Chains A and B, each alone.
Chain A
Amino acid sequence: MPAILAEGLRKRYGSKEVLSGFALSVREGTVCGLLGPNGAGKTTAVRILSTLLRPDGGRAEVAGFDVRTRQADVRRRIGLVGQNAAVDEVLSGWQNLVMFGRLHHLGTRAAKARATELLGRFGLDETGKKPVKQYSGGMRRRLDIAASLILAPPVLFLDEPTTGLDPRSRNEVWSMVRELVAGGTTVLLTTQYLDEADQLAGQICVLDSGRVTAEGSPGQLKSEIGGDRLDVVVHDAADLARAAGVLARYSESPPETDADERRVSVAVRDRVTALTRVAGDLAAEGITAEDIGVRRPTLDEVFLHLTGHKEKETDLTGRKKEVVA
């Protein structure tokens, strides 16, 4: 039985159809990364699966219970970490966890014990008595995740859990997720960061215009777009066009050129043959290459290939990166 199952989910707001036949199946104890551009319907899907929103059509089960008819059963088995750190800023971290513990119907003593335990586990014991207002973004996010783990739920929804976090806090969240999954938790993670999905998810669903357009492991998705990539960086930008001509001989798909980085890239079937021949051809034509290499495609390229969106993505270093097809 899958831990999360969705079939033909539909949701529309006015004339805009946000989900149009969304389907998903996540095995117990795995991480599924829901990947897609802004407005693709990621958050709407999570809100339906976590009982916050009723779908207009379709069916969904979480931990074996229908999200429409068995809301209470679903709520006992899920944790939700939304886009904002949904904790009380006025109260201290400890007070927050005790409150959420009691609202999960732990006795006062049990709620306090659980609060202390979670603060320790998430490295917040020292700041536990301070009001959340004084916490850093990473600390808030950790408290937020801790608050959704009061009952150690078998299914955890993480809606863009690292948006707005610095790289160190992001790594902390990632290791936390890995730890939870090792303990058997099923995680549905939405993200705009391809790297994040690549790092954490065993299964990736690419969401575009309200439906899943591609699904598979990161490796499968990467090989789907035509195997390995051969990159050539030329010394002189004037040689780019001729270098592209060379690469085109060894591929069925047209080469992609990045003028800023003086790079030409192409999908190749046979990595070793292509590499040796391209190196020979470039030398024969008198083109000086600064770098030649064969690599697996990035999820950026997969994403671009699958959705056809040419959009500026902010990569993990926070700098804007132009994706050129």
Chain B
Amino acid sequence: MTTMIRDSWTMTQRGLAHWVRMPGQVIAGMAFMIMLVVLFGYLFGGAMRVPGGGDYLEFLMPGMFVMAVTFGIAETMIAVQADADKGITDRFRSMPMSQAAVLAGRNTADMFNSVANLAILIATGLVLGWRVRGSALEAAAAIGLLLLLRLAVLWMGIYLGLLIRSAGAAAAVQTLLFPLTMVTSTFADPASMPAWLGAIAEWNPLSATVYAMRDLFGNPGAGGGSWVAEHALLHAFAWPVVLLAIFVPLSVHRYRNLSR
């Protein structure tokens, strides 16, 4: 057990060292999210009607947090795929180290990264005028749910990273993230969309998390009416747990049986 913790820490340090060595990539990732906030908040903000009334930036920010966290899947997937592709994973597997530490270290490093990303995005929101209107406890619950979602997509990313064989495939999966994160209740009320698209957006599990975030942060557009919105909190908790229940065992199995 102590070996596992020690090895996990070494692997975490490796992830963090990448960060220090490639600050450009980290800054670009953060700048991208800030750019999206500015772009949507100010470019379209004026023309958008918030359901039930309210400030568009306040409506937007909870969804941006969810989007940022979901995009983390690509980061994990690309890192895991690159390690497997370059034979580093094989080196770890042939070494007398804790094998659980390889995955645990990836988890810790990526979570560190996401917490920092989220902190910067929250600070950006506060500077631009987004406000937390719920209680501190509710805000903490919201952040807890965001990190739970990050953990769930992290394990999905590990599994996909072990599954796909080329960096090209990773890029293709990354592209799919845009419709997945945009066809939600993040940018507009699904009720304002064509019926079929609105149904997809409403039932997109990410929408439930967005509703829950708005509810917990006390921001407008928490929804009401639809069944998903009514049970947003439960959904926002349950579906990442389901993802974890699926992808943790799948990833561990895949890692143990890696063979080309």
Contact = CB atoms under 8 A, between A and B. Distances in A.
Interface in A252-272: none
A86 B86 contact: yes
A140 to B, nearest CB: 10
Contacts of A53: 259
A80 B90 contact: yes
B225 interface: no
A80 B94 contact: yes
A86 B87 CA distance: 5
Contacts of A84: 85-87
Contacts of B87: 82-86
Contact of B96 (A47, A86, A88, A105): A105
Contact of B259 (A47, A105, A131, A148): A47
A90 B22 contact: yes
Interface residues of B, number: 25
B14 A91 contact: yes
A229 interface: no
B95 interface: yes
Contacts, number: 69
B14 to A, nearest CB: 6
A99 B14 contact: yes
Given A47-B259, A52-B259, A99-B10, A105 B91 contact: no
Contacts of B22: 90
Contacts of A99: 10, 13-14
A191 interface: no
A75 B14 contact: no
B17 interface: yes
B96 A104 contact: yes
Nearest to B19: A90
A76 B21 CA distance: 31
Interface string B84-100: 01111011111111000
Interface residues of A, number: 30
A95 interface: yes
Contacts of A147: 91
Interface in B7-49: 7, 10-11, 13-14, 17-18, 21-22
B192 interface: no
A97 interface: no
Contacts of A91: 14, 17-18, 21
A193 B241 CA distance: 52
Instruction: Output the residue of B22, B258, B259 with the most chain A CB within 10 A.
Output: B259
A112 to B, nearest CB: 13
15 contacts: A51-B93, A52-B94, A75-B96, A80-B91, A82-B87, A85-B87, A88-B14, A88-B88, A89-B86, A90-B22, A91-B18, A103-B10, A103-B11, A104-B96, A105-B96
Given A75-B94, A75-B96, 6 more contacts: A51-B93, A52-B94, A80-B91, A80-B94, A86-B87, A104-B95
Interface of B: 3, 6-7, 10-11, 13-14, 17-18, 21-22, 85-88, 90-97, 258-259
Q: Which are the 7 A-B pairs with shortest beta-carbon distances?
A: A86-B87, A84-B87, A75-B96, A86-B91, A76-B96, A103-B97, A80-B94
